[in-house]
Structure 1
């Protein structure tokens, strides 16, 4: 090969920059979502019946904001509607964006709102996978991984949806070392409970320069409590509306 991928030569420098660019949701917000998920579990279980596997989304410690919703595969099916094949409501990243919009101004996601809030300058990055096909990769980072793990709840998990400036997300996809650093940061902030079947994080995979990273403080906006209440009311009403129309 006449050229060389030298990303491994600069992982520390790249990760040092990303740590200062990444915005995580504050643990207090995550705790509020976890409380509401426990409270509404029976409601969603009755709503979903046998049409959605609720345990993939709501479990002890779940911070999934939109249970029953997962990313569509290869753009198949109608968005924002129940899909019997996937046993889920399928989406194209609209629902995870609702989380950040509600945090910012208590309103739903739409193009103008996203742009006017300055969020259009960022991309969503999922720290842990929300696709079952990628679970095998993550097994190297945990000593215990449940075999029948379907991580669909990670798609709209408040812990898992990080904002990074446009154009900076790709290194988190292509570097195992940078992934390990972001996994470690997640667990520092939220613990392992929201991970649903992944336990005993393997610290040996974390780079030895991790403690030198200077991370952004997690985001805790003004009026976050009232805005999160609006978000949680919206999610329940929206999911109920979609599932009521489902076969």
Structure 2
């Protein structure tokens, strides 16, 4: 069988543009740089044209200076969530114990592990594919990932020891899930998107449990939507955390930060 001829950049750009990819030139460059063979490149273009998220096509996502492995069916880390990482590092620059709940690919835990040299990092998710992916991404930092429902997944020895607790919880209201872009709606797990009637069901559970796991002065950080931010702040305050909202207009990111007393 003859070896497929290499695809020209212009041919890839044309195929992606015809499929509606807004950043066709950038995506073509990434696909051609990632593909190992012309056959791989052609298959990757076909998958992207069919609507698979670019990160699933590539097998990785850029996040906070790292290349995070992302398997098909796993939530793709958003670049706006880098703001949460920055807020965590500003709030606890010397953190030694980090927990990442609803970890997905483990991007948050990996980014914090990379910045906090020697920190003990644990992550958890209810989805098996996500946990498998997170283990890959945390391995280089000696991090651990567990499958289970929020705090139930964690070793009990972490209780009262956590300096930074990140929880990029699902926060899309159930009724708004069908309105999401097809890339998310069709290719990411519903459990990573649907946050219940008002989008805050999982946050309520995380906030209620956080004080028992954080050290005094330890912080919970969670991302939320702009219209949900006031309610999310109230939820964390009602859980006994000293709470504030950090906003990045540039990234359209809203991060609730709650500090344990």
Tell me the TM-score normalized by structure 2.
0.27
Structure with higher RCO (Cα < 8 A, 6+ apart)? 1
Instruction: Give the greater-gyration-radius structure (CA).
Output: 2
Q: As a proportion of its length, which structure holds more strand?
A: 2
Tell me the TM-score normalized by structure 1.
0.28
